Structure 1
Amino acid sequence: MNRRGWLQLTLATLPAACRRPEPPAARAEAEPEIPWQPLVDSHWTPAMGGELSSPSSGVLRLQWGESLSAAKWTGPPLTVPFEMELEARRIDGTDFFCGLTFPVGASGECVTWVVGGWGGSLVGLSSIDGKDASENDTTQHRAFEKERWYRLRAKCTGERIEAWIDGERVIDLPTAGRSLTLRPGPIDVCAPFGLATWQTTGEFRSLRWRPVSP
């Protein structure tokens, strides 16, 4: 056997770990990201309480009312699973400047994410197992500055509800076996998707949503 033949035979009998690795297969292309869909101003309508206006392009304002001020989305419906983003701020008042009502199940269940309620600091979901945002697993308190924009994000997969404030996750709730309902009262006017404030003037901008994988 000549030298070349001997070398080929030797390489063929080497353990796999000693051979030169095969070049890695080309990576499969990542699935394209689902684009965001803007929640445009023209599809919001006043539902109760203070006036709904647009003081500048792309900004919605819910004016202070005697109790709840609310606006309802009249455009194409949001369907679970989804995520949405917006920026919100308190202009005047001392109670919640963003009450975001959204669907959480295929049967029409909804909850409200309260930001800045019960005196101005409470964050939580209403309602979980019949308990409102002030007394369930999602209850917490944090300081909110007047006239400062806060970046809010909510995600609902049908199995979990998550929420973020300025990139910090503040709610992470598995929903299996939990009763998810709206707090009894006027917040019903926002279902299945709406915005509200309580004795407070709030502003909203950069509203958008998109479907997500369950």
Structure 2
Amino acid sequence: MTWNRPRSPIAPALLLLLLTTAVPTDPARGGDDDATAPPPAPLVLFDGKALDGWEPTDFYKPGEVAVEDGAIVLGLSPASGGMTGITSTRTDLPRTDYELSYRAKRVSGRDFFAAATFPVGETYLTLVNGGWGGTVTGLSSIDGADASENLTGTFREYENGTWYAFKVRVTDASIRCWVDDEQIVTFDPRGHHLGTRLETSFNQPLGFATWETSGAIKEIVIRPLSPEEVAAETQAAESP
């Protein structure tokens, strides 16, 4: 004689409950919450007090590098045609989809006083400010041509002792640069060969340099761009 145990009426009901109950989203796995997640925090690269995260650039006979009055001062090189600079030692810098901002002034001299070398994907560019005798501002180098020779070069006067606000925005489709509130460069890097001059290669991955000039830099910040900002840059670059 075979004995069949009757099924419990609870089992089907429990199975139905498990199948129809929503599983909470694990924030660590992403999901809908990602769309409203705050953007990554800006990276403050200089606190106005110490050179943590920086080292003097290995130029030939550079001037003294010091922190004075909340700024990094790049002293005048004693060598003819000499350069002074600082280079970041951080390993967490973004290579695209970011905005670099800083303030700089020429203390003495008449050439570039805070040329900024920065990453662009797998390569680098330098925003020269006041080069070639004091006024040329633009990106070096594009297709082997310096800022004085390529389409990004422009002329701008800089007064010694005056602070200027610089901003560089980098995406795969666009590089834009500002001095104070004036946009001075808009450039689509796709299809071009990018690279720095040999001298400023010592500032990679991120750094600043002077040429026969003393300069000061402060308020150095990198801000990752939001997906919306990246999309807007791409759309603007592709608009006729």
Is the structural similarity TM-score above 0.5? yes
Query: Where does the alignment leave 5 or more consecutive residues of structure 2 unmatched?
Result: 1-34, 231-240
| TM-score normalised by length of structure 1 | 0.81
Alpha-carbon distance change, 77 to 68 in structure 1, aligned in 2, over 3 angstroms: farther
Measure the CA separation in 2 of the matches of 1:56 and 1:120. 25
Measure the CA separation in 1 of the matches of 2:183 and 2:92. 25
Q: 1:78 aligns with which of 76, 93, 99?
A: 93
Comparing 186-195 with 73-82, greater Cα deviation is found at: 73-82
Contact 2:113 2:209 in 1 (8 A): yes
RMSD, aligned CA: 1.5
Partner of 2:30: none
**Greater fraction of residues in helix:** 2
Deviations 1:60-116 (A, max 9, x none): 0111112121210012332112111100000001100111000101x2x00100001
Partner of 1:111: 125
Measure the CA separation in 2 of the matches of 1:206 and 1:104. 21
Contact 2:45 2:220 in 1 (8 A): yes
Measure the CA separation in 2 of the matches of 1:159 and 1:112. 17
Partner of 1:36: 42
Higher relative contact order (CA 8 A, sep 6+): 1
Note if 1:46 corresponds to 2:56.
yes
Give the secondary-structure state (helix, strand or coil) at the position aligned to 1:144: coil
Listed as ranges, the matches of 1:136-175 within 5 Å are: 136-175=150-189
Report the identity percentage: 34
Contact 2:39 2:224 in 1 (8 A): no
Give the secondary-structure state (helix, strand or coil) at the position aligned to 1:178: coil
Residue 121 of structure 1 deviates from its aligned partner by: 0.6
Q: 1:129 aligns with which of 143, 154, 174?
A: 143
Residue 56 of structure 1 deviates from its aligned partner by: 2.0
Note if 1:196 corresponds to 2:209.
yes
Measure the CA separation in 2 of the matches of 1:53 and 1:138. 32
Give the secondary-structure state (helix, strand or coil) at the position aligned to 1:54: strand
Give the secondary-structure state (helix, strand or coil) at the position aligned to 2:208: strand
Partner of 1:64: 76
Measure the CA separation in 2 of the matches of 1:68 and 1:171. 25
Partner of 2:110: 94
Query: How many corresponding residue pairs?
Result: 182
Amino acid of the structure 2 residue aligned with 1:182: T
| TM-score normalised by length of structure 2 | 0.72
Amino acid of the structure 2 residue aligned with 1:134: S
**Greater fraction of residues in strand:** 1
